[in-house]
Structure 1
Amino acid sequence: MTATLGATDPGGRPLAAVLRAETRLFLREPGSLFWILVFPAALLTILGLIPSFRKDDEALGGRSVIDLYVPVAVLLAMIMAGLQAMPPVLTGYRERGILRRMSATPVRPSALLTAQIVLHGAAALGSAVLVLAVGRLAFGVRLPRQSAGYGTALLLAVACVLALGATVCALSRTSKVAAAVGSVAYLVMMFTAGVWVPVQTMPDLLRRIVEFTPFGAASQALDQAALGDWPGWTHLGVMVVWTAVLGAASTRLFRWE
């Protein structure tokens, strides 16, 4: 990371230089790459190997359990990126004084924050593509019928989780605190995303409550788009509101040192 301090490229674009440096560091972290890119697709594969999960069920609207778990696996990658991978990295940089030292160079600390958001957002989207491919090729899950709506919900969900991750960074003074806070938020978001019980199969009251959380809304929006409908404006609106609130909170609370 020290090579990033004061780094600029020949064209004088410090953000591009920081992004390249952070990309190299990110690719050297096999743990993060596994949990973001590999684990969601691997989990979907394990679930898909259960014969009963591949059978259509009238109680699920003629769909199988594995059909419901594709958007869940997509969201799981986002949660991993935004709450488990990004917060410890940024708080670690601040804890070691790297962000403060960058203030004295042509590279502003905000460039590092932007690079981290871009990297983890891209990793989450890459994992989503991999999950969709595994679902389609291995288990015959149809690709989203409303591709524009699916893409819209996907981008909003990524923005929401990165805003949440930035808020965790803002509230955590050290990387250990960030890991602890991120883990608690991670478990809550996993439940609301439907990792243990798909949102679509939750009892009515619980489902209505969960739909007002970022990933409960995202799960429903992705499922609606997968079926060919435009995602409900309520679900999209919930994600927009959460992104705006969390983004404003993280911007106000974040400290570079």
Structure 2
Amino acid sequence: MFKKTLSLIALTLCLIYSNRSFSADYSDNIHKNDFKWFQFNLLHSVNNKLPFNNQNDTFFEMEFGGRSGILDIYGFLDVLDIFDTTKSDLHNKDNLFFKFAPKISLDAATGHDLSIGPITEWYIATQTNVGDRSLFEHFIGLGADVQVPWFGKVSPKLMARYVRENFGAANERKFDGYLLSITWFKPFYVIDDKSFVTYQGFFDYTFAADKISDDLDRTSSSLAWYNGLYWHSERYAAGYGLKIYKDMGLFKDGGIAGETSGVGHYFVLTYKF
């Protein structure tokens, strides 16, 4: 039933876009769509469902992205408990979290337009997650840019997960599971010539991680779904994010890791360079 539903959705999108062109043709110049951006974010999280009751914190984030030729990059570095306060659940615990997600455009690398239907560009997708207390994960797979009604460009990736470090768990140095990750950024209301409101976020679903499934406190799947409403100007942004969790970090809700399912909240201030 699930496969039939996905097939129907794909067929519908192809029909919608069968007479429209969203191709990423780099045969003349692979740098035609180059761009870059960099910003600082200050975030305050409330009831965040990170394992072991790490729910509330105020942290600083350096976030960046861009495109140069065949390479498309996104990443951020979080500095946790930025105000060094005992009110933070991460006080005297983790200090840093780093995510780095470069993609290689197959269209630009081959010099051929590989678009089909609503899929405008294909990528070899990678991602690395690093926590400063023995968390180190690598991901590799296939990604795409897809034109979706109302949303515009949506960027899904399906990647295999390799666990380099996992707090000494049995799945270290093994491939264990897959990650389906989808990101979007949709401006939907223009206030004036220089400011607008967006619906932006991501959907991360980890599944088939069964190398340590015999641990009664672990799960083979987890979900994190971030839904943000943001106001943007040329130099500033402010927003609210509602994040939905299910067994965050592949820990069962209510087990040794505490509360890992439910809803969390983020309040964000941004300065753009």
TM-score (norm 1): 0.30
Whose helix fraction is larger, Structure 1's or Structure 2's? 1
TM-score (norm 2): 0.29
Whose strand fraction is larger, Structure 1's or Structure 2's? 2
Q: Which has the bigger relative contact order, CA under 8 A and spacing at least 6?
A: 1
